[in-house]
Amino acid sequence: MRRSEYLTEKRDFHKLTASLLMEEDVKFCRLSDSARHVASQLTKFNFGSLPVVDDKGMLLGLISEFDLLDVLIKSRDLKDIRAEEIMSREVKFVREDTPVDEIIRLLEADHLIRVPVVRDGKLVGIVARRDILFGYIKSTAEYWP
């Protein structure tokens, strides 16, 4: 659930932050999960990437569809590969207080669809391009139901 879904009054869109825009119910995987499990999660939830966290929820990496496709093109079986073997360890992220304009610039500059949100290194949310558009629509609506 996004906090922006609960906005009940017009707001200045440019004052929105990651904490208002982010999806809090984040799907993730663990270091020991198989690449097959990651692929099943991506297809089940229609995501393009999945964060990798440790037992304390600390963001360790990210696995994208490209990472999985790379395994397949090398004729390796996804069930034999662990998340820690293929994850990207240098992950772009934002904090809860990151302004929407900064998030947009990051998404554009790095050609990202979504970006993890962290608090003290712990994964607390994800902001996708669609979440930003939803936040704009919701924060600038003329009439409230």
Q: Are 77 and 86 in contact (CB under 8 A)?
A: no
Tens of pLDDT along 37-57?
999 999 999 999 999 999 999
pLDDT at 139: 87
pLDDT above 90 for 144: no
Query: Which residues contact residue 14 at a Cβ distance below 8 angstroms, ignoring those fewer than 6 apart?
Result: 99, 100, 101
127 vs 144, higher pLDDT: 127
Cα 120 from Cα 4, distance rounded (Å): 23
The phi and psi torsions of 52 (rounded to 5 degrees) equal -110, 125
Q: Average pLDDT, whole number, for the chain?
A: 92
Question: What average pLDDT does this structure show over 69-95?
Answer: 97
pLDDT at residue 141, as a whole number: 84
Cα–Cα distance, 75 to 72 (Å, whole number):
5
Per-residue pLDDT averaged across 1-6, rounded? Answer: 60
Please answer whether residues 117 and 22 qualify as being in contact, where contact means their C-beta atoms are separated by less than 8 angstroms.
yes
Among left, alpha and beta (phi > 0; psi -120 to 50; other), residue 97 is alpha
Structural domains in the chain, sorted by start: 3-139 (3.10.580.10)
Whether the model pTM is above 0.85: yes
pLDDT grade for 11, boundaries at 50, 70 and 90: confident
